[in-house]
């Protein structure tokens, strides 16, 4: 299949908004590397958020990530922020695992087991 036909196939459906994505080529900011330390996560997500804030596709991206319970940083939201909004990923780890799955409404995080 010609490259032109392939790209029009990919970008003609519900992901059309990705053509305008400001994060193209910056994947390392949007998905955590293995073993990422909390301090490094804060810095990485802050940089990702700055890219998202200037992105023309922010709302479509956020809606997609919430609806599909995506992993990673999408639409200026971290996985934890999406979980708090009621859209937790299906197989959470770490801090995100404290949240109930949610039904699209904001949820309270689970209580810590540590006194
Ligand atoms: S809102 Fe952020 S994650 Fe979504 S497409 Fe734009 S830059 Fe990428």
Residue 52 Cβ inside 6 Å of ligand 1? The answer reads yes
- Residues 6 or more apart whose CB falls under 8 angstroms from that of 87 comprise 65, 66, 67, 69, 102, 104
CA of 58 to the centre of ligand 1 (A): 6
Per-residue pLDDT at 49? 98
Domain boundaries, given as residue ranges, for the chain: 58-109
Is the minimum distance from the CB of 58 to ligand 1 under 6 angstroms? Answer: yes
74 lines ligand 1 (CB under 6 A): yes
Total-model pTM: 0.86
What share of residues in the chain are helix, strand, coil (percent, to 5)? 50, 0, 50
Look-up of token digits 């053509």: 19
Count of alpha carbons within 13 Å of 59, Cβ hemisphere only? 0
Asked if 91 and 105 touch (Cβ cutoff 8 Å), the reply is no
Which residues of the chain form beta strands (DSSP E)? none
At 70, give phi and psi (nearest 5°): -75, 155
pLDDT in tens, the chain (115 residues): 455 555 555 567 889 999 999 999 999 999 999 999 999 999 999 999 999 999 999 999 999 999 999 999 999 999 999 999 999 999 999 989 999 999 999 998 777 666 5
């Amino acid at each position: 299949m010609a490259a032109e036909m392939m790209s029009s196939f990919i970008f003609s459906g519900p992901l059309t908004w990705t053509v305008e994505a400001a994060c193209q080529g910056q994947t390392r900011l949007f998905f955590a590397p293995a073993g990422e330390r909390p301090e490094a996560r804060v810095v990485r997500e802050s940089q990702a958020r700055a890219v998202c804030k200037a992105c023309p596709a922010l709302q479509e991206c956020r809606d997609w990530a919430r609806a599909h319970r995506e992993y990673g940083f999408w639409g200026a939201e971290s996985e934890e922020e999406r979980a708090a909004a009621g859209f937790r990923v299906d197989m959470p780890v770490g801090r995100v695992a404290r949240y109930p799955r949610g039904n699209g409404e904001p949820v309270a995080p689970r209580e810590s087991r540590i006194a």
